[in-house]
Amino acid sequence: MEAIKFLLGAGNPPLGKLVHYDALNTSFRNFNLRKDPQCVLCGDNPSVTELIDYEAFCGTKPPTTMTEISVTELYAKLESGLDGILIDVRLPDEHAECSISGSRLIPLPEIELAASDLPKDKTLYIHCKGGVRSARACAYLSDQGFTQLVNVAGGMDAWLEMNPHP
C-alpha cells in the first residue's frame, strides 16, 4: 500500500520510518530509521554505484562445460535412444510424485557423494523441478572435472507442461 501511495504521490508514506503493525493488539508503532554512514549503497562513501553481474555475484553463472537443452529436445533424445545418463536432482518425494522414465535419482544434497560413481566419458543430462538445482549440480560436477554436462531448461515443470502424463 505504501509503495502505491508513494508512486501516486498520495497521502503521507512513511519515508525514513518503519511501521510495525501488531495484529494481536491492533496497534501500530513507528520506528525512525537513520541512514548508516558506512552503507555501501547510500552511505557517505558508497562503493556500489552501478549494477553488478548478478549471475556471477550469486554463483549461478553456468559453467563453460555445461550446455542447455529444452524438454522438447530431451524428449526427442529419449525417443531416439539417449546418448548419456539422465539424472534427476530433485528430492525423493518429488521424484516419487512424478518422474521422467529412465531417469536416475541423485538428490542435489547427495551429488557430492555420487560424483565419484558417475562416468566422466558420458553426457550427463541433469534436470530438477525448474532448472536452478540442476544448474547447481552442473556447476559442482564441472568443478570436479566433468565436461559433458547438459542442463534441462525448465526441468520437470516444463516437462509436465509438454507432457502432463509422464
Annotate 122-136 with three-state secondary structure: CEEEEECCCCHHHHH
Q: Kindly give the pairing relationship between strand 66-69 and strand 149-152.
A: parallel
Catalytic residue among 39, 42, 58, 128: 128
Let me know if 128 is a catalytic residue. yes
CA distances from 115 to 5, 90, 101, 112, 139 (A): 53, 16, 22, 5, 12
Q: Which residues contact 105 (CB under 8 A, 6 or more apart)?
A: 87, 88, 90, 92, 95, 99
> Which three cell numbers mark 79?
525417443
The residues annotated as belonging to the active site are: 128
